[in-house]
Structure 1
Amino acid sequence: MSKYEPLREHLARLDDVVWAAKLYEVEEIIGSSLPKSAREHRTWWANSGGSLVHQNAWLDAGWRVERTDLMRDVIVFRRLRIGGTILAGKPARAERPGRDPQRAAEKRLAKEMGALRQPATVTLRSEWTPLGDVQRTPCSNATIPRGGGVMRFAAMDGDDVVTVIVAALAVQKTYRGLRMQVKGVEEASSDKDGLELITKAGFDTADPIECDVVKSGNAWLLTDGRGRKANLDDQSECYLVAQLLYLQEMQNGRKTTLIFR
């Protein structure tokens, strides 16, 4: 068996799309030290494969090295495909006879809390899909999703752009409610929602209002370099993405409002 087979197995088990690994983590996985060239030469982490058994370890698992930062001892792997062997989880260790279960639980919790208290950085990568002017874009437009998403309405306030970020579990319904208000059409099912949006946003319905949306599949949550797609049909994740986009608007110096639907 190759020295790097444990690395292949580890990558095959991961559910993440991105894995930012410290070199010592790789060494712990393979159970031995990396060669000197792995710490000094980026080419060691290339994706050539062939007769290079260490590179075949991640390539065979469906991953590639996306970035190397040898100054910080960090290697960033990215998944290319779902592949490799999914190994069964390790069986739980039996408690030793005579061991105090309460004390053992306290020790395990203390150990886990140490990991939980490590600094973490949560970032968002998203792609906006423009829907255009609310006055002109009909509710039946194919680009408007029926499911969850995060919407951004924008209008001018003098020389400044003001925005409203809306976490919506039913994007089309939310858009329809606002459009009915803008068009001056009363509709019992959506009139209340649209009026609330207009009121909280402070928009003048006579002014142009642009709308963009982040659809499901177009938002990725990244935690310390490890990323996955956000499920915008899930209320908690939709709200989290909306809050991060709201903070981006504030950091860009725009007057903005956050609304949960």
Structure 2
Amino acid sequence: MKKYAPLTSYLQSQTADRITLSFKEITEILGAALPGSAVKHGVWWTNSPSSGRHNEAWLTAGWKTSNRNLKAQTIQFERIGISSQPKQQVRQAAPRSSFDPSMLTETDFAADCTVTLQLRWQRLGAVALVNHKLVFPEAPKQAGLYRLTVRLGNRTTVYVGEAVNLKRRFGNYRRPGNTQQTSLRLNALLIEAIGQGGAISVDIAYDNIGLSVGGKIVAADLADKAVRRMIEQAAIVAHGGVDVEMLNR
């Protein structure tokens, strides 16, 4: 691109293998201002070759960019094929240094991630104890989230979980297998709580879950375990502001 030809000429005239230029210096070399994307987004300085792009200004001259620092408004150029560290530094042990947040730069794919979640619990019913066996209220055979609230005296404990099949998960708690450690633990805890006069309520959420990513509303696919786990963890964190004990911890 003709606009960036002065930068090509400047790099071709250099004798050093590495140079660092400020954005202001590059503006003076070009005789024109850099676009806003060059100042705000590190990806503008990418070395990915593409015909007709501005980065041909340094790639065709045999240079590449490195050490982008948008905060300091500087960019380093180095000749293609040159090691990113001088040889004498490679042989030496890396010096100890403290973390400097001012040296952080944007990555080529620095997409922001804003997630908003709205979860509304629905009361399914209560857990009973019949002939020393737990009896759960009838649940749908669908993927979703569930919450067990145990009230015993002045103490309230909560367990939040996720399942690909809510009905089957409650069946596991009723008759846990020998290797199902979580189910065995909760089975014993629930039986003990009811035996001591406690009350256990069951809430579920399997539809009408509001989810938006980056400001765009998306379907909360509860068949996807990753989605269920994300919502489960959000629900656990949300209970952190309530005066209860989380059985998940």
TM-score (norm 2): 0.48
Larger Rg: 2
Which structure has more relative contact order (CA 8 Å, sep 6+)? It is: 1
TM-score (norm 1): 0.46
